């Protein structure tokens, strides 16, 4: 097994340098099991760990997740009404007046593939 060295990413300057190197390696499109391919994989891990620590991304709000899935799949409010139990429940959900019941969460997860852990989160009030 060959040893691959990758930079330690501790600062934003290190991060920027690692991103530049990553971009160059991506442009080379190295073979997966080549030295450059292994270096590319290692850089992705190092950069990802730095981003997770310094630039975390909050999971989406349940309303945002439902709207995103509707847009993705071309669904209409009527499609959501079938799952939530009527147009008034859709309106209440989108206006932050009503959360999702366990039954609604299960149906959205099973039928639309939205992760249940996102659907059970508290909705964020609009700014």
Query: Hey, where are the domains in the chain?
Result: 12-54, 62-119
Give the whole-number percent of the chain exceeding pLDDT 90: 83
pLDDT surpassing 90 at residue 44: yes
pLDDT at 126: 67
Q: What is the share, in percent, of the chain residues with pLDDT greater than 70? A: 98
Angle between helices 35-54 and 12-28 (to 10 degrees): 140
Q: Is the distance from CB of 30 to CB of 21 less than 8 angstroms?
A: no
Average pLDDT over residues 41-62: 93
Helical residues (DSSP H) of the chain, grouped into ranges? 12-28, 35-54, 62-73, 77-84, 87-94, 102-112, 116-119
| Closest among 15, 19, 22 to 40, alpha carbons compared | 22
- So what's the architecture of 62-119 in CATH? Orthogonal Bundle (1.10)
pLDDT of residue 116: 96
Q: Who has greater pLDDT, 3 or 25?
A: 25
Q: Which residue has the tokens 């349940």?
A: 62
Q: Which residues contact 76 (CB under 8 A, 6 or more apart)?
A: 70
| pLDDT at 58 > cutoff 70 | yes
Q: What confidence tier does 127 reach under pLDDT thresholds 50, 70, 90?
A: low
Total residues belonging to the chain: 127
């Amino acid at each position: 097994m060959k040893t691959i060295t990758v930079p330690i990413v501790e600062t934003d300057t290190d991060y920027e340098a690692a991103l530049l190197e990553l971009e160059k390696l991506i442009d080379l499109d190295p073979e997966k099991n080549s030295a450059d391919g292994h270096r590319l994989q290692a850089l992705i891990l190092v950069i990802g760990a730095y981003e997770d620590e310094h630039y975390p991304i909050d999971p989406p709000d349940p309303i945002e997740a439902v709207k995103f899935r509707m847009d993705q799949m071309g669904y209409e409010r009527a499609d959501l009404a079938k799952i939530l139990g009527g147009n008034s429940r859709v309106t209440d959900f989108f206006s932050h007046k009503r959360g999702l019941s366990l039954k609604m969460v299960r149906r959205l997860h099973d039928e639309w593939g939205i992760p249940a852990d996102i659907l059970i989160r508290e909705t964020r009030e609009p700014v």
